[in-house]
Each structure stands twice: as structure tokens, then as C-alpha cells.
Amino acid sequence: MRRLLELSLKFRVLVAGVAATVLVLAVVQLPSAPVDELPEFAPPQVEIQTEALGLSAQEVEQLITVPIEHDLLNGLAWLDQIRSESTPGLSSIVLIFQPGTDPLKARQAVQERMSQAFALPPVGSPPVIVPPRASTSRVMMVGLSATDISLIDLSVLARWKIKPRLMAVPGVANVTIWGQRDKQLQVQVDPARLHENGVTLTDVISTTGNALWASPLSFVEASSPGTGGFVDMANQRLSIQHVLPIANAESLASVTIVDDAGRTLRLSQVATVVEDHQPLIGDAVLSGGPGVMLVVEKFPGANTKEVTSGVTEALDALRPGLSGVVIDADVYQAQSFIDTVLRNLAIWALVGGLLLLVVLSVALFSWRLVAIALTTILLSLITATYVLYLLGTQFNLMILAGLAVALGLVIDDALVDLERYRRALRDARATGKDTSPLDVLAGAASAVGTPRVFATVIIVVAPLPLLFLGGVAEAFSKPAILSYVVAVAASTAVALTVAPALALLLLRNHEAEPRRRPLDRLAGRLFDRSVPWLAGRPLLAIGAVAILAAAALMAVPNISQQLLLPSPQDGSLLIHWQAEPGTSLPEMTRITTQATRQLAAIRGVRAVGAHLGRAITSDQVVNVNSGEIWVTLKDSADYQSTLKAIQGVLANYPKMASHVVTYPQDRVREVQSGATDALVVRVYGSDMDMLQQKAEELQRRIAKVPGVVDPKVQVQARQPTLQVEVNLAAAQKYGLNAGDVRRTATTYFSGLTVGQLYEDQAVFDVVVKGTPATISSPGALTNLLIDTPSGGQVRLGDVATIRLVSEPTSITHDSTLRSIDVTAGVAGRGLDDVLNEVRGLVESTPMPLEYHAEVLNGPIQARSHALQLAGLGLAAAIVILLLLQAALNSWRLAGLVFLTLPLAAAGGVVAALLVGGLMSLGAVMGFFTVLGLAARNGVVLAGSFRSLQTDGEPIGQETVARATRERAGPIALTALATAALLLPAALFGDIPGAEVLKPLAAVVVGGLVTSTVLALFVLPALYPRLAPLARHELAVAPAIG
């Protein structure tokens, strides 16, 4: 290490030049660093969505979800969990892989299995593997509206013009369209009108399909359209191209159809041909009216700023060709929150930096010393940030938290070294020896180097247990610890190279101490009076230790197994909005339009938009009775009062379930979703009614177990459904099969795609379906006329039973099986005893064939995980104790310093309880700064005491006070400077960016008070009585020298 220091001093100009180069590179390149609100916290996962418009939840499960789960995906490599949800018209299967699985390999494994999906029943669109999305994937929400353009034409623009352009923006993973009305040519048929004209539904389907170039129907001739071919001549080949004459409803209506008597009719004579759209699975509300909403999602790790800029530029480039279309990009922008955070952090850094400058100027009383201190502090932080950038790190609140945690240690490195250099040069001049400043600084720097190594290792070891928190908490902790370790390493490197070089450049010909510094005089008088007085009264020191211990013990009742993750106070609010199951989309649109108009009228609200239901490949797996309202606040809005006004508007809709969160909060809660009750019994089976019955039986039996509190059965949401069951005997009388009846009914009510039209670069479906009057009511379903093989017709109600039943709106699978949970709390009895008795009760409960129940191990796993963390924390504590012993070569000294570490955090405990909780991640991170500084102070002071005793000086009050006096300046100055820099953050209100920094800064500022008191007053008072060294300990030199 001394060799490194000598080289840094010898080539000081080169070192300064390299430092300046690093600063320039960082300033140039860091603005392009990827920035996001939160780190990636979702586990590796792949989602498969299959659209099947018109199928009920049970049909989706039977025809799509079960075949894919059981036949294609079960037993996949690296698979941890498989979950699915079947809702009306949609199957969503989520595959969660083991931590550490390469996402690309996981997707490749899924893709290989899904290559066999062609064997699925053709009842919907092909399964789609949803593109990989970031944990907080939504970057922008763009609203499209127009007064002179229909919603169908607006959807065509969105689907075929705007979406492809946005998908080409680097970093964009997916663009979903809410309120999309796909343009269709619809041949609307009435069975009575068909019968009057001697035409069957099959005739219409075949004629329409064959009128087009290509058809997906295998039983029509257009299923094999053929190719045009070419004409070969002597020296030329001419290609043959057939041009489709059908381009609109009018041309399709002129297609001829032959009736049963051989007469030629036009299609318009037997059906109504119109341009319309498909049945909607969702809708959008913009500015209190209809519209189309585009949701732009990004890839994991994508730069939010670059994606936002790219999307904005793409929209600006498209505007000239979108005359009459209003583009509203203010519905939601993730970059707005990031910009607000950066502004607030800039204010904090400016105010804190000014306070730091004032403290250093008053304390050091020399512009040279202040320049060296500020340069090394700034260089350490910028170097750490630049190294993180070179490592490809995505900057977020947790990276910032890690850098903030390291601030105290960075400041300590700068000021302690600077004080040692100043004193070394002063003492060299006082002796009058002709010693070069280079040798003087090399000796002073090497004396600091070894203690720094031990203290740095201790500082790095302390937070390592956080890497094993598991789940979302671990994902949040890792980037913070990474930036913390990098900052500590950068600070150490700067302290060993740049700091001594700058000191030699600026201090070698400068009088080290021209006059006594005012702060030194004040601190000296205070210290000289208090320390000897306290050293002679050890009971007071012991009493101070007891008070600090009592303050630290205040943390015990507030410790929980759940770490409170930061909840960004985004200026965009998300309102979950849900009506009763079975509510129609038009009714949801009406209610939501009214609510958005009222929300937009609130002072402080800038923009309001809403989407209902879902969109194709969207992040919502819901029915049309669910939606989300997005409210963007003005920058000048009072957050709490505006939030209260929003909740007041929502209270006017008592039949609507609503919940206000921010988008990051919503995503974190979704990833953390799961059973949180102390006792969870999961019942698996196939029939929903039987599952409900067995779950209620277990609920009654579990309720009798002592210690079980309030057992409940999971509520299954249900909605009214028209169920059609064909009477085989009745159908056979008319020559019909059950499949014939289903196909006819589904064609009328859901529509049958018979082909496509190709217009420019767009593709539109041609669909045969019933007229609006034919499918307008439940009675219309009963009276629907079915064509029979004999040429007649029969009512659907005559060949089938139609009844209104209650069916589940969503069917979830866990590990490919249906399940219902019975949950309960536990009180007044040990959890193990209750779980064991409930487990025995579940095993003794008779179950039908293929049904079983399990007591989930969630509580046991959580407690086991807590014990594992406790074990890792104990291991880290033992390692720290061993490092202290290696540094001091004394178990008593190591034990004394070790015991002061938790006491030093007492002030931080009090501060954490005042600003919102001990278990917030920011508060926990703040304790590492306090513990790091306390460890450094303790090692340096104990090493000084030991050195004096090794030199033969008696360990008494005066000797200890003199040794402490030499270290008091740097220790107090570090505490003052760190507090000055972090105080503005500690005093932040509830503003964006303060979610992590405020509790962190409060803990550090509070902990600095108690750690400084311990180091300068309590430890010197206790040392002479508790830790004087024995002869065998003095015989061995300490590692810190």
C-alpha cells in the first residue's frame, strides 16, 4: 500500500490529470445513463395469452387453458410456479421461473413447447407469448380522439399507422390499444329473411367466403386460393396478378348467391352488408368522451427517458398525416415522475452542498483545505456513479439510496485524511528536519491506510445479509448494496491516490496552520472541560450507555419480518374501478365518462383518462366490468388535498369498488400478491361447486381448533350467464346434431370470419353474423331459427334448454389445478401447534376422487426465512467481531468497540420512529452509514489508546483524553459535514424523491449524534476501566499499527 501511495505522490500531476479526465468523461456520458423509478423486481416469467372472443370462463378453461397447461407446459425446465386465469374470452398463463434463470432461455423453452399449439381446438386466436416487459412497464399512455373521424377509422389509424411506428422505437416492448374497433365487413343475416329467400346460413357463409381471394374455412373453395402464375414468351416472362374487385360493403353486397330453386340473387337481397367492428373487449374514455388509448410498454432495463423521447419524436413525425386527430400524451408519462425527482434531488444537492461548504469553510478555515475536501468528496461520488454506468447499471431510487448511504463514509475518508496530512506537515515543520513533503505525506497516508482496510471490510460486510431477503425486498436491496459497495471502493481508491496527490500539490509550500481556527478553539474548550470530568465519573458514562441501550431497545416492538418498500409519490394516480360482475361495457362507459368529467373539474388535476376491460396482449386480465382511471396532477397541486378531493368524487359511486394508488405501488403489490394470513388451507379439485362445498366443510372444522381466528372461504365472483344445453332427442327429430346447433348459434351471436380484405397495408376481416335485432335479447336466443337438413327451420328453444345460471367470472389455476383457499388468523396459541393440528384435521377430512387439500407452508417458510436472515446477520456480526480483533489484537478492545456499534444507532432508531417506521428500506439502509462511521471511529480510537499503552504510557484519564483530543476534530467534523449534507433530505416533506432519502437521512442524522457522543465521551470514559491491555496483548503489534 505504501508503494501505491508513493507512486501517487511521485506522479501527482498525472494522478490529478486522470482524475480530471474521469470527471470530464462522467459529465459527458452520465446524462445518457438509463434512469427509472424502481429497479427490476419481478421474477423471471413468461406469459401466454390466448384470445377467444365469445367463450365463457369455463369454456376458455376447458378448451384452451387446460390443454396448454397439461399437454404443453407442465414439467418445463427451470419452472418454479405455473399459474393461470381463465376469464370470458381470454386465457392467461403465467410461468414463473426459478431465480437466476436466463429470461431468454426461459422464453426459448416455452416457445419450443408452444410450437405444438396447432393441435388446440380452433376456437380463438393462436396463443401469443407476450413480449418481455419491465416490472414497471408502462412508459406512456397516449389518447387519440377526433370529432370528424369515426372511432373505426381512428382505430385503423392506431392499429396500422401509429402502432407500427411506435413499435419501431428502441426499447418499446409492446403497444396495446384500448377501445380498438377493428374494421370489418359484416354480412348480417336474419334466419327468417334467409328462409323467405330460400337460402340457408351455410349458403351465405360459402358464397361470402368464395367471393374473396382466401378464406380460413376449410370447407369452402377459397381455402385454396392458388397463385396467378405467369406467361412465358420468347424473351419475356409476364406475371399474372388478380385484382380483387371487392373493396367495400357495396361491392360485397353485389355478390351473387343462388337460392334453393336455382334463382340468382344478390347478397344484399338476403342479408345486410355493412361496415362495422367486432364486439368490444374494452374501451377508452378521454377528456370525458370516447376515444382510443395506446399504452406504450418498455423492455426490462430500457432507458425510460430515451423511450419517452423516441415515442414523442415518433408522434411528432406522424402528426402532419393525422389531420383532425387530437393526440393527448399527458394521460400518463413515467418520465414526468423521474423529472420531478431529479429536480427535487438537484435542490437537495444544492442546499446540502451549500451547507457542507459553510461547515467546511468555518471548520477548516483554509480555502486550500476546503478545495481538497470538496474535490475528493465530489470525485469519489462521481467516480462511483461513472463505474456504475460502465457496469450497465440502471439508475433508480435504490441506486441513489446506496450512494446516499456511502456519503458519510466518503466524507470521513476525505476529512480524516486531510486532517492527518495537515498535522503531518505541521509537525514536520515544527521539528525543523529537512524532510521532503512527499515523504511526510507518504508516511501519514500509509499510517491511515491499514485501519482503513479493516474498517472498509467491516463496512462492506455489514449489509450483506440484505442480499438474502428474498423476493421483492431482495430485488430492491441488491442495487442499493451494489452502489454502496462501489461508492465505498471508489472513496477508498480516491483517498489512497488522489487525496495525497492534491495535498502535495496544494499544501507543500503552504503554511499548514497560520492561525488557530475558531471552531478548534470552541471545540477545544468544550472538550477539555467535559472529557476529563466525565472520565472521572464512570457511572455517568455507564448511565449514558444504559440510556442509549434503552433507546435502541425501542426498535424491538417495531421489528417485523416484512420490510417496508418505498412507495414513490407519483404525480399520476391510478384508480382501480370495478362494477358488479355482469355489468355491460356500455354501462361501464357511461359511469366512467361521468366520473372522469367530475375528476377533471377538480382543482389540481391536469389530465384524466380511463380504459375499461382489456386490450389484446395487455397487462390486464379482466372482464369489461373492471377498469382503471388515470389522473395526472398539476405540478402546483397540493398532493394531499387533491387526493382527498378525488376520493370525495369516488365516494359518490357507492356501487363501484375503487382504490387509489400510484402505478409503481400497484406493480409492487401485484408481484407481492399471495396469501398473507397465518393459516391457509388450499383445496384442489375440478368442480367449482364441489370445491366450494369442501372448503366450507373445512372452514367449519377448522373453526373448532383452539387458536384459530375468523376462518373464511375465498369468495368466488360470479356473473349471470345464459347456458344452452342441446336436447339430443329433440334435435335428432329434426336431423340436427349438438355441434350443428352450437355452430349456428355462435355464428349468429358471435360471428364467423369467412375471409379477409387487403387494403393498402391493412388487413380487415369479413364476418357473417346475425343482425342486431336477431341477437338483441335472451328471448332472441330462445327464438333463434336453426336450419334443418330437410330445408325447414326450428327454434333453438325447441331443441335445447336455455337457462340463466350463475357462473364464475374468473377461474384460477395453481399448479394446473383449480383451487379455493380457506384462510384464518392465529392468536392465543403457538403457530406450530395450530398448523400441526389443522394439518391432521385436513388429512382426516374425506375428499372425493381427484380432490385434495393442503396446508400451505407460507407462514413456516416466512419464519424459516426470518431465521435464515437472523443466522446470516449473526454470521456477519461474528465476522465483524473477528475483523475488530484482527485489527486491534485484543478481544477486550474488539468487544468494547463491537458493543458500541448497536448503541451508536440509538439516535437513528428514535429518528426512524419519528419519520415513518423503523422497517422502511430507507431507514434500514441509513443504519449502515451510522454503523460504518461508528466502526471507523471505534477502530481508530481504540488503536490510538492501544498505541499509547504499547509505548509505555500509563492508561489514565489524562492519557485517554489526550488521545481522544487528537481524533476529536476529524470525528466531529465528519459528523457535522455529513449532517449538513443530509439535513435538507431529512427535512423533505412528502415529495417525489424523498421516499427513500427522507428516512435514510433522518436515521443518519440522528445516529450521528449518538455515535459521536459515544466515540468522544463514553468510549474514553470506559476504556481505562474496561479494556486496558494485558502484557501478552501488548507483546503483539496490532494490525492497524
Domains in the chain: ranges and CATH: 1-24+366-438+472-514 (no CATH), 33-134 (3.30.70.1430), 519-565+858-1041 (1.20.1640.10), 572-672 (3.30.70.1430), 679-719+811-855 (3.30.70.1320)
pLDDT score of 851 more than 50 = yes
pLDDT band for position 989 (50/70/90)?
Answer: low
pLDDT score of 1041:
45
Q: Which of 37-41, 248-252, 539-543, 833-837 has the lowest mean pLDDT?
A: 539-543
Q: From residue 867, how far is each of 57, 680, 870, 928 by CA, in Å?
A: 42, 21, 5, 21
For 748-753, what is the mean pLDDT? 94
For 927-949, what is the mean pLDDT? 79
For 221-248, what is the mean pLDDT? 91
pLDDT score of 1002:
85
pLDDT score of 614 more than 90 = yes
Computed over every residue of the chain, the mean pLDDT equals 85
pLDDT score of 198:
92
Distance of CA 333 to the CA centre of its chain: 16
What is the per-residue burial (b if ≥16 Cβ within 10 Å, else e) of 470-480? eebbbbbbbbb
pLDDT band for position 269 (50/70/90)?
Answer: very high
pLDDT score of 557 more than 60 = no
Neighbours of 876 (CB within 10 A): 17
DSSP string, 519-584: HHHHHHHHHHHHHHHHHT-HHHHHHHHHHHHHHHHTTGGG--SS-B------SEEEEEEE--TT--
pLDDT score of 777:
92
pLDDT band for position 10 (50/70/90)?
Answer: confident
pLDDT score of 796:
95
Burial class of 652 by CB neighbour count within 10 A (0 to 12, 13 to 18, 19+): exposed
Between strands 811-814 and 752-759, the pairing is unpaired
Q: From residue 984, how far is each of 315, 354, 382, 980, 997 by CA, in Å?
A: 40, 11, 20, 8, 10
CA distance 797 to 331: 48
Distance of CA 776 to the CA centre of its chain: 44
pLDDT score of 818 more than 60 = yes
pLDDT score of 914:
74
Do residues 291 and 145 make contact, with C-beta atoms less than 8 angstroms apart? yes
pLDDT score of 868:
67
For 508-529, what is the mean pLDDT? 61
Do residues 674 and 812 make contact, with C-beta atoms less than 8 angstroms apart? no
pLDDT score of 293 more than 50 = yes
C-alpha cell, 46 = 413468461
What is the per-residue burial (b if ≥16 Cβ within 10 Å, else e) of 238-256? eeeeeeeebeebeebbebe
pLDDT score of 1030:
47
pLDDT score of 297 more than 90 = yes
Q: From residue 906, how far is each of 554, 663, 873, 975, 987 by CA, in Å?
A: 9, 35, 18, 15, 19
C-alpha cell, 452 = 482503513
For 691-700, what is the mean pLDDT? 92
pLDDT score of 539:
65
Do residues 420 and 448 make contact, with C-beta atoms less than 8 angstroms apart? yes
Between strands 762-770 and 183-189, the pairing is parallel
The count of residues in the chain is 1041
pLDDT score of 271 more than 90 = yes
CA distance 540 to 548: 12
pLDDT band for position 381 (50/70/90)?
Answer: very high
pLDDT score of 120:
82
CA distance 830 to 960: 52
pLDDT score of 944:
75
CA distance 110 to 129: 8
For 349, list phi and psi in degrees, rounded to 5. Answer: -65, -40
Looking at this protein, which amino acid is placed at residue 171?
A: G
pLDDT score of 1007:
86
pLDDT score of 1031 more than 60 = no
For 933-942, what is the mean pLDDT? 82
Do residues 494 and 12 make contact, with C-beta atoms less than 8 angstroms apart? no
pLDDT band for position 343 (50/70/90)?
Answer: confident
Instruction: Choose between 139 and 443: higher pLDDT.
Output: 139
- What share of the chain in percent tops pLDDT 70? 87
Where on the phi/psi map is residue 594: left (φ > 0), alpha (ψ -120 to 50), or beta? alpha
**Which sign, positive or negative, has the C-alpha torsion 289, 292, 298, 304?**
negative
CA distance 529 to 573: 57
pLDDT digits (tens, 9 = 90+) for 476-513: 888 989 999 999 999 988 988 888 888 888 876 665 45
For 394-398, what is the mean pLDDT? 88
Nearest to 337 by CA among 665, 76, 732: 665
pLDDT score of 726:
95
For 591-602, what is the mean pLDDT? 95
CA distance 46 to 110: 8
pLDDT score of 561 more than 60 = no
pLDDT score of 184 more than 50 = yes
Do residues 630 and 572 make contact, with C-beta atoms less than 8 angstroms apart? yes
Nearest to 199 by CA among 247, 258, 129, 114: 258
Residues in contact with 634: Cβ distance below 8 Å, sequence separation at least 6, in sequence order: 604, 605, 606
pLDDT score of 291:
94
Partners of residue 822 on adjacent β-strands: 681, 713
pLDDT score of 312:
96
For 793-811, what is the mean pLDDT? 93
Burial class of 504 by CB neighbour count within 10 A (0 to 12, 13 to 18, 19+): buried
For 343-370, what is the mean pLDDT? 88
Where on the phi/psi map is residue 617: left (φ > 0), alpha (ψ -120 to 50), or beta? left
Cα end-to-end span (Å), the chain:
14
For 454-465, what is the mean pLDDT? 81
Partners of residue 757 on adjacent β-strands: 764
Looking at this protein, which amino acid is placed at residue 866?
A: A
Partners of residue 142 on adjacent β-strands: 294
pLDDT digits (tens, 9 = 90+) for 19-78: 999 999 999 999 888 888 888 888 999 999 999 998 999 999 999 999 999 889 988 999
pLDDT score of 536:
61
For 593-615, what is the mean pLDDT? 94
pLDDT score of 1032:
47
pLDDT score of 150:
93
pLDDT score of 562:
53
Radius of gyration of the chain (CA): 37
pLDDT score of 563:
54
pLDDT score of 86:
94
CA distance 722 to 749: 12
pLDDT score of 873 more than 70 = yes
For 511, list phi and psi in degrees, rounded to 5. Answer: -60, 115
For 801-824, what is the mean pLDDT? 90
Residue 759: how many CA atoms within 13 Å on its side-chain side? Answer: 15
* Highest mean pLDDT of the ranges 163-167, 437-441, 954-958, 1012-1016: 163-167
pLDDT score of 100:
87
pLDDT score of 622 more than 60 = yes
Full-model pTM: 0.86
